[in-house]
Chain A
Amino acid sequence: MKRIENSYEIIIVGAGHAGCEAALASARMGLKTLLLTINIDKTALMPCNPAIGGLGKSQLVRELDAMGGQMGRAANRTLLQIKTLNSSKGPAVQALRAQIDKKEYEIEMKRVLENTENLILKQGTVEKIIVEGKEITGVALESGPVFQSKAVIIATGTFLRGRIIIGDKDYNAGRMGEYPSMKLTGSLKAIGFKTDRFQTATPPRIDRRTIDFKRLRLQEGDDKPVSFSFWDAEKIHENIPCYLTYTNKNTHKTIAENIEYSPIKSGMVDTHGPRHCPSIDRKVINFPDKTRHPIFIEPEGRNTTETYLQGLTTSMPAGIQQKIVNTVEGLEDARIIKPGYAVEYDYILPDQLNFTMESKIIQGLYFAGQVNGTSGYEEAAAQGFVAGVNASLKINDKEPLILTRDNSYIGVLIDDLLTKELFEPYRMYTSRAEYRLVLRSDNADRRLSEIGLKTGLISEEMYGSVKKRQKEINEVIEQFKYKKINPGSKVNKMLLNMNTSTIDGPTTLHQLLKRPEVGIDALISSFLKKGIAHDKKVLKQVEIEIKYKGYINRQLSEIKKLSGIEKYILPQEFDYFSISGLTYEAREKLNKVKPNTLGQASRIAGVSPADISVLIMVLKQRTGKTL
């Protein structure tokens, strides 16, 4: 028997969203890469919601896309509809959300992986990592083979000693029907890694044929869809709708009557679950006064009748789940195909990592995704990318890629993971980022494509298109600063037509565009006779840059002001749940901890600087007290 060469440069353990991005980044950077998964048929599977993006998460995907990640392109190619969220609000909180055909996403991502040079996808369950001294040297499979490598990226999702819970029943599984990885945690602990248990859950899937659509509100995607990716054109798609309905008093009564069966009450689950995506059981307990909660009804794909119930996450016994579903308007006859369930798994405490995602104690060993205590496909993909890039840079003896809070949401994500104590799986939202007027979903290419170019993950041509656009934006801004309008009856009439006040001295277009009510299109058609030779994307950026410049500066000074928060005493009888501007997580934490000072509040995991800003504002309104 010939000896088989089993040597790679980078090995990735797990082919979920973190593993796929890690593998693609490292293979595209020229490193010989092995991607291992327990079951190749489940590559890039989306085990929970059939959507990518959303508030905060959209920014992660766009940033990933700007640097040459795959998720944005894969989403764009397999979406059922796409929507700009918060389109009536400011650009900082706008986001894209795409409904995805899950099976098509798997096929697309696997196709891309399999056609990437230097990348081998292989089935195998990793039993242990192999180290020499303080350096990684490879992994061993449960089935025997040993693979050598210079770096290993652990991206095991919920599979480390995964345990599924429905009601009072449980069994070992990484996802429904799939056996977990029972041995790898032991190998990590033996080397000195600290681990803990987290829990996450997914709602029931129902049979589309049993839904009464007439009683639901239609939720269509945008008529004129934008591309999720900076590099792919908009996809012409069918705009398959979602629907909206609500829980009601009956739903809440049914849950309350059966609450002792909820695993969070019965003791079946004593690990921490995500507050941001709370189970309906928990929502009913925490918001007894709320008469209804929204339920979004989302297709799992074109070819299946299985339909996802966003907002109805529960791992109550299946029979009770069925009763709960049937209390909801339009779902009176709905039949569950897949009951919701919770899964509990090992994660490593992420304070054991550096900003590169490399572990502090073992050189060349990286962690990415849910195994670091995060939640969400987008958060996982972002970490996978950073780990893949950094593992490659290190092997090539190059400077690491360190993303920061002021250049990206990915930077915010990693900084939070490394510095805050996690009490539940971490997910991204806009309120976690203090520079969110700078870190927008729409300008991620301008912020980060240079990194993509330097790592070779985007081409010169792609980068050139971004630079060209940036140049055009600057030119138009200069043009707007230079172009003065002189007061006069004709000009003032035009201004009044724009529903804005008249001018009594020479005024630049730049000054006029700062007015909230004035749009760039109206200015151009009124005052630039020759029009302007730039496309809508450029003008949109000019408008945001000019209009919000003041807000951006003000936000920066707000953050400085936070240094006085230590002296600010908080009232002890205060209902934080009543402040709608706070994240759900922050409200729950503040109510629980009841901090003495704002400074203390700001150090509670789950309370972001943005939450503190909101708190200052609300306290000023209610108590008259200022910083």
Chain B
Amino acid sequence: MINKKDKQEYDVVVIGGGISGCEASYASSANGARTLLISINTDSIGYMAFENYILNAKGIAAAGKNIWDDLIIKNAARKNGIGLNNIKSTKKDNTSGMIVIDRKRQMINIKEIIENHENIETRQGLVVDIISKDGIYHTLINDGTVYKSKAIILAPGTFLDSKIFWGPYNIAAGRPGEIASRRLLRNLIRIGFKFKEVELYCGPRIDGRTLDLKKYIRNRESHKLNIIPEGKETNEFYIDGFKTANSEEEQLSNLREIKGLESVIMTRPGYGIKYNVLSPLQINKNLESKKFPGLFFCGRISGLLEYEYTAAQGYLAGLNAAKKTKK
């Protein structure tokens, strides 16, 4: 049962409800720390915004042990995996141990796991600042609320003052349709953190009804794309390996040159995203800030990309933050 006292005080506050933030929250609470997970929109907790598959990264280790079986992403994926049989179109050399995930079901499921963990609470809000005062961290939300904690884990993913772009177009966004987090980055820079801007690309999505899958599979040696179903209840497919931020017209005409995709319709264009990651040498191997003990970073903000690694890093940050609060 939730500790009903001290509604505004936690051992660990996790900022960001993506894969890394979820693993961090889970590991932190599993190690005895009362944990608050803050997300701009709690509807999106556990959302995987880029490719919807993970590799079965059995060997992944953190803190000296194999942790793959402890990760939510893996356990939820086992439940929400669509299975390889459904995606005959994938590249041969890349499919070994790959789990394709039903994107929406996975999100609902990860959120359910998080919400039902006795030591985790969730909160919707946009974090605008973090302040260290007498060994206690204060997390400020844009609705005026302040949460105190012994440690903070920053897992804002691609949301720090980010822009998405394709063709000549760009708009401030953490993901398509979602607002970015701007003030937090300014305030992190103000207290001395250094960031650099990086780019990442997300593939387009297509309407499966406009795809000739058989023809595509017959000719799959001629190209390097994976066409991956988004879920069991949707006709959308994700185009993996088609990293582009070209204009929609260019993306579409490139896709239509592929056999089986001659009359394809894009439901969502591929896009690039410019976001901010920590410059090197500011955190130690425990993922803790050198300058601000108790402040941890994990996931895409640290420069990592693949879900398996951002998940593992979240796990490690959660574990270390929980340990720290016990001292």
Q: Interface of A with B (CB < 8 Å)?
A: 1-2, 4, 38-42, 103, 106-107, 110-111, 114-115, 120-123, 125, 142-145, 166-169, 171-173, 176-179, 205, 207, 209-210, 303-306, 317-319, 322, 333, 335-339
Contact between A169 and B166, CB atoms less than 8 A apart:
no
Contact between A303 and B268, CB atoms less than 8 A apart:
no
Kindly specify which of B24-32, B243-251, B275-283 makes contact with the partner chain.
Answer: B243-251
Contacts of A4 in B (CB 8 A): 249, 252-253
Contacts of A114 in B (CB 8 A): 207, 209, 234-236
Contact between B177 and A335, CB atoms less than 8 A apart:
no
Contact between B41 and A318, CB atoms less than 8 A apart:
no
B91 within 8 A of A: no
B59 within 8 A of A: no
Within 8 A of A (CB), among B23-43: 40-43
Contacts of B40 in A (CB 8 A): 176-177
Contact between B236 and A42, CB atoms less than 8 A apart:
no
Contacts of B252 in A (CB 8 A): 4
Contact between B169 and A2, CB atoms less than 8 A apart:
no
Contact between B169 and A122, CB atoms less than 8 A apart:
no
- Contacts A142-B169, A207-B2 hold; do A123 and B121 have CB atoms under 8 A apart? no
Q: Residue on B with the closest CB to A102?
A: B43
Contact of A168 among B144, B167, B178 (CB under 8 A): B144
Contacts of A1 in B (CB 8 A): 249-250, 253
B269 within 8 A of A: yes
A58, chain B: closest CB distance, angstroms = 27
Given A111-B234, A176-B41, 16 new contacts (CB under 8 A): A1-B250, A40-B267, A103-B104, A103-B108, A107-B233, A107-B234, A121-B267, A123-B267, A123-B268, A143-B269, A144-B169, A179-B178, A207-B115, A210-B2, A303-B112, A317-B144
Within 8 A of A (CB), among B1-41: 1-2, 4, 7, 40-41
B124 within 8 A of A: yes
A313, chain B: closest CB distance, angstroms = 16
- Contacts A122-B267, A171-B142, A303-B109 hold; do A178 and B41 have CB atoms under 8 A apart? yes
Contact between B177 and A42, CB atoms less than 8 A apart:
yes
B324 within 8 A of A: no
Contact between B42 and A173, CB atoms less than 8 A apart:
no
Contacts of A319 in B (CB 8 A): 144-145
B94 within 8 A of A: no
Contacts of A209 in B (CB 8 A): 1-2
Q: How long is the Cα–Cα vector from A115 to B123 in the complex, in angstroms?
A: 36
Q: Residue on A with the closest CB to B39?
A: A177
- Contacts A169-B142, A317-B144 hold; do A142 and B171 have CB atoms under 8 A apart? yes
Q: How long is the Cα–Cα vector from A144 to B168 in the complex, in angstroms?
A: 8
Q: Residue on B with the closest CB to A321?
A: B143
Tell me the interface secondary structure of chain A in the complex.
mixed
Within 8 A of A (CB), among B130-182: 141-145, 166-169, 171-173, 176-179
Contact of A337 among B42, B109, B235, B250 (CB under 8 A): B42
A287, chain B: closest CB distance, angstroms = 27
| 14 A-B residue pairings within 8 Å (CB atoms) | A1-B250, A2-B253, A4-B253, A107-B104, A114-B236, A120-B267, A123-B176, A144-B169, A144-B247, A179-B177, A207-B121, A210-B4, A317-B143, A333-B4
Contacts of A39 in B (CB 8 A): 176-178
Contacts of B112 in A (CB 8 A): 303-304
B42, chain A: closest CB distance, angstroms = 6
B43, chain A: closest CB distance, angstroms = 8
B265 within 8 A of A: yes
- Contacts A39-B176, A305-B116 hold; do A143 and B4 have CB atoms under 8 A apart? no
Contacts of B178 in A (CB 8 A): 39, 177-179
B111 within 8 A of A: yes
Within 8 A of A (CB), among B226-266: 233-236, 247-250, 252-253, 256, 265-266
Contact between B141 and A144, CB atoms less than 8 A apart:
no
Contact between B179 and A338, CB atoms less than 8 A apart:
no
Contacts of B248 in A (CB 8 A): 143-145
Contact between B173 and A179, CB atoms less than 8 A apart:
yes
B325 within 8 A of A: no
B146, chain A: closest CB distance, angstroms = 9
Q: Residue on A with the closest CB to B141?
A: A318
B122 within 8 A of A: yes
Q: Residue on B with the closest CB to A103?
A: B108
A295, chain B: closest CB distance, angstroms = 19
B95 within 8 A of A: no
Q: How long is the Cα–Cα vector from A126 to B2 in the complex, in angstroms?
A: 45
Q: Interface of B with A (CB < 8 Å)?
A: 1-2, 4, 7, 40-44, 47, 104, 108-109, 111-112, 115-116, 121-126, 141-145, 166-169, 171-173, 176-179, 205, 207, 209, 233-236, 247-250, 252-253, 256, 265-269
Contact between B144 and A169, CB atoms less than 8 A apart:
yes
Q: How long is the Cα–Cα vector from A169 to B108 in the complex, in angstroms?
A: 30
Contact between B4 and A177, CB atoms less than 8 A apart:
no
Q: How long is the Cα–Cα vector from A209 to B120 in the complex, in angstroms?
A: 11
Contact between B233 and A111, CB atoms less than 8 A apart:
yes
Contacts of A210 in B (CB 8 A): 2, 4
Q: How long is the Cα–Cα vector from A256 to B44 in the complex, in angstroms?
A: 35
B29, chain A: closest CB distance, angstroms = 13
B17, chain A: closest CB distance, angstroms = 11
A102, chain B: closest CB distance, angstroms = 9
Q: How long is the Cα–Cα vector from A312 to B174 in the complex, in angstroms?
A: 31
A192, chain B: closest CB distance, angstroms = 28
Contact between A110 and B177, CB atoms less than 8 A apart:
no
Q: How long is the Cα–Cα vector from A142 to B207 in the complex, in angstroms?
A: 22
Contact between B2 and A335, CB atoms less than 8 A apart:
yes
B247, chain A: closest CB distance, angstroms = 6
Q: Residue on B with the closest CB to A261?
A: B144
Contacts of A42 in B (CB 8 A): 177
Interface pairs A-B: 3 shortest CB-CB? A39-B177, A177-B41, A143-B169
B131, chain A: closest CB distance, angstroms = 17
Contacts of A143 in B (CB 8 A): 166-167, 169, 247-248, 269
Contacts of B1 in A (CB 8 A): 209
Contact between B234 and A110, CB atoms less than 8 A apart:
yes
B140, chain A: closest CB distance, angstroms = 11
- Contacts A121-B267, A144-B167 hold; do A178 and B179 have CB atoms under 8 A apart? yes
A258, chain B: closest CB distance, angstroms = 13
Contact between B250 and A339, CB atoms less than 8 A apart:
no
Contact between A167 and B143, CB atoms less than 8 A apart:
yes
Q: Residue on A with the closest CB to B180?
A: A179
B252, chain A: closest CB distance, angstroms = 5
Contact between A207 and B249, CB atoms less than 8 A apart:
no
Contact between A120 and B265, CB atoms less than 8 A apart:
yes
Contact between A335 and B171, CB atoms less than 8 A apart:
no
B92, chain A: closest CB distance, angstroms = 29
Contacts of B47 in A (CB 8 A): 41
Contact between B247 and A173, CB atoms less than 8 A apart:
no
Q: Residue on B with the closest CB to A175?
A: B41
B134, chain A: closest CB distance, angstroms = 22
Contacts of A205 in B (CB 8 A): 124
Q: How long is the Cα–Cα vector from A304 to B122 in the complex, in angstroms?
A: 11
Most buried by A among B115, B141, B173: B115
Q: How long is the Cα–Cα vector from A338 to B173 in the complex, in angstroms?
A: 21
Q: How long is the Cα–Cα vector from A217 to B71 in the complex, in angstroms?
A: 39
Q: How long is the Cα–Cα vector from A319 to B121 in the complex, in angstroms?
A: 16
Contacts of A120 in B (CB 8 A): 207, 265, 267
Q: Residue on B with the closest CB to A117?
A: B209
Q: How long is the Cα–Cα vector from A176 to B44 in the complex, in angstroms?
A: 11
Q: How long is the Cα–Cα vector from A166 to B141 in the complex, in angstroms?
A: 11
B110, chain A: closest CB distance, angstroms = 10
Q: How long is the Cα–Cα vector from A115 to B265 in the complex, in angstroms?
A: 14
Q: How long is the Cα–Cα vector from A144 to B249 in the complex, in angstroms?
A: 9
Contacts of A166 in B (CB 8 A): 142-144
A263, chain B: closest CB distance, angstroms = 12
Contact between A335 and B121, CB atoms less than 8 A apart:
yes
- Contacts A107-B104, A319-B145 hold; do A177 and B122 have CB atoms under 8 A apart? no
Contacts of A305 in B (CB 8 A): 115-116
A593, chain B: closest CB distance, angstroms = 36
